[in-house]
Amino acid sequence: MSLSIADLQKKKANGEKITMITAYDATFTLLVEAAGIDIILIGDSLGNVIQGRSTTLPVTLDEMIYHASCVSRVSKHSFLVCDLNFGSYQCSTEDGLRSAIRIMKESQVHCVKLEGGARVLELTQAITDAGIPVMGHLGLTPQSVHQMGGFKVQGRDEKLAAAIKADALALQDAGASSLVLEGIPRGLAAEITASLAIPTIGIGAGSDCDGQVLVLQDLLGLNMGKMAKFVKPYAKLGQSTIDAVSQYIAEVKSGQFPDDAHSYR
């Protein structure tokens, strides 16, 4: 039985931290569920992690549905959230609602996530009115990277901090059932979390949020490039993979693999 919105609300009420991680395929879904993860996010970060792009902007709705389907096909207990990709909801409320319905029907997830505050309130209300849970996303919103001038911390000045706080309350009022806070000062995240009845999930927002999310490949140390300040690698699987493949190459070239133990008779 998958976790529900009510389960996540109960965790917030009880002061129990919520764990969330990205996954884009069946193999990693089985692994993170075996570890006991609460929420799996099929994020448009797949544009960076899977497709090798510098931003999330080129990711399509069909690609989101494909990867979300790979996850939902094997998921047993996690709450599944799928991003609405850039271009799937910016033109109109009708477009956004239609995109959310497609994701829910075709990928069998439990919730959609969309970025923005005041500009997506009408859409958030429309999606929730259609019976689809919504996870909001404020602060550093990657789909607006060019407008923000890069991946920069948001809400350090009083005016922008006040706007983020107002947007958080407005999203809750519009029906959002949870909220990602990305790339904002810890104190601001704490204020927002205390002011909301819905759970907040932080990434680069300090430890006072109701939960935390990381990109799985960052957590596992699979990305060999420069890491953001908020990323903590819990393994070094990138180097381990290089070492394993190097050993495989050496053994094939030397004739050591396959040996009798790995051959049929």
For residue 83, what are the β-bridge partners? 113
| Active-site entry in 106, 182, 191, 251 | 182
What element of type H or E holds 33?
A: helix 26-35
Query: Would you call 191 a catalytic residue per the annotation?
Result: no
Q: What's the rounded Cα separation, in Å, for the pair 129 and 125? A: 6
Which residues have a Cβ under 8 Å from the Cβ of 245 and sit 6 or more positions away? none
Q: What's the rounded Cα separation, in Å, for the pair 197 and 205? A: 18
Q: Which two tokens stand for residue 76?
A: 């047993």
> Tokens 């976790």, residue?
3
Query: 250 in helix, strand or coil?
Result: helix
Closest CA to 66 of 108, 101, 4, 100: 108
Query: 262 in helix, strand or coil?
Result: helix
Q: What angle do CA 78, 40, 54 make, to 5 degrees?
A: 170
For the chain, the 3-state helix, strand and coil shares in percent, each to the nearest 5, are 45, 15, 40
Packing angle between helix 186-195 and helix 158-174, nearest 10 degrees? 30
Burial label for 261, CB within 10 Å (0-12, 13-18, 19+), is: exposed
Annotated active-site positions, please? 182
